[in-house]
Copies of this chain bind each other. A is one copy, B any other.
Amino acid sequence: MTYIETLGANAKASEKALRCASTQEKNNALAAIASAIEENTDNILAANAKDLEAAKENGISPVMQDRLRLTAERIKGIADGVRDVIKLEDPVGSADFCSVRPNGMRITKVRVPLGVIGIIFESRPNVTVDAAVLCLKAGNVVILRGGKEAYNSNNILCSIMRDAISSCGFPADAVQFVDDTTREVTTQLMKCSKYLDVLIPRGGAGLIRAVKENASVPVIETGVGNCHVYVDESADYDMAVNIVDNGKTQRPSVCNAVESLLVHEKIADKILPLIKKRLDEHNVEIRGCKRTAEILGECVVPAAEDDYAKEFLDYIISVKVVSGIDEAIEHIARYSTGHSECIVTNDLANAEKFKNEVDSAAVYVNASTRFTDGGMFGFGAEIGISTQKLHARGPMGLRELTSMKYLIDGNGQIR
């Protein structure tokens, strides 16, 4: 048995305890986790200090160091996040469908946990707790494989969670930590379809591509967002400026930020200067087509073909002047990652056309793409934004961490 198979077998052995637990029992375990995290603040900070020291020694960038850093306040935030999950409605056991067949059989389709979930994630240690408690609340057991740069922080957070759920009568192995961050072991995890029901990668495009290509466990892809705003001929100028600015500059590092702007040729010379003026407040770099440069002048960096495919996650935006909605929709179909797209328009037919023809997880008319988020959609905490079409698309909350089964009640029916 490989190391990962041992973890997998332990997870499978713990799976029934979670699957059959009541909401109250699961909430008690989450409350114990929240308290234990706060009580262990000093120990967590000490472990995190080791990671930060190693990060400095290895010359990791200040931005990445900040993502890695925990403070007493951030630890309190993690515990409060756990308490927010306690408040969420438990999807397990709810029925989507109930039908009595002509022969008298009653068929009920009920939500059940997925089973064993593997999460592969990168630097931020708070993901360890956020992901684990969402899995537990939906009745799943979880195997966590974090990045090696957060090894000590992730390790202690997992230990604390294991002790906490164990104190509530659950098997500690309902939360397991992959104590080996080598590539070989990560590959074993991706191939462990005997024990894992699903694998969720959380991180950059490279990680997600590697998991998608190598996993034999079913995967839910998350998070790469090359999001577009198309400003139609009939758009309200103020609204368009606000939506582009909000999408690009309110938090450029997240997946629902705007990366590309398409503008109708008939209004480009009027609206592009207004948009530029607003984006200048954040020194946003504009990578534009020829027509954009003609209108805005030398400040425009000529856009290369691949700029339209990039998720900048920075104060950079690609801009293209288009002949109308058809070219805009075609451009989006070619370059989008299927995350979130927006049209700003006052034309009803174009609004409908955009909603019907754009094939992305979230399609907006006259609102910022920054709303693609479990909290903003009213679903509560999310484990990621799915950009695939199978199982889950868009913000994935507790419901997306469940499956279903059919229960059939009869009194002797045969075919």
Contacts and interface: CB of A to CB of B under 8 A. Distances in A.
A390 B218 contact: yes
Contact of A370 (B239, B361, B362, B415): B415
A157 to B, nearest CB: 27
Contacts of A367: 105, 408-414
A121 interface: no
* Copies held by the complex: 2
Interface string A361-403: 1111111101110001110000000001111011000000001
Interface string A265-297: 000000000000000000000000000000000
Interface residues of A, number: 68
A235 to B, nearest CB: 10
A158 B400 CA distance: 36
B365 A393 contact: no
Contact of A243 (B114, B238, B407, B412): B412
A87 interface: no
A389 B197 contact: yes
Interface in A83-141: 99, 101, 105, 107, 112, 114-115
Interface centre among A114, A216, A351 (most CB of B within 10 A): A216
Nearest to A354: B407
A238 B414 CA distance: 12
Contacts of A409: 351, 365-367
Interface string A195-232: 00110000000000000111010111000000000000
A28 to B, nearest CB: 19
Contacts of A236: 412
B406 A363 contact: yes
A320 interface: no
Interface string A45-69: 0000000000000000000000000
A408 B365 contact: yes
Contacts of A407: 355, 363, 365
9 contacts: A105-B367, A193-B212, A197-B388, A246-B414, A366-B411, A367-B411, A368-B414, A393-B403, A393-B404
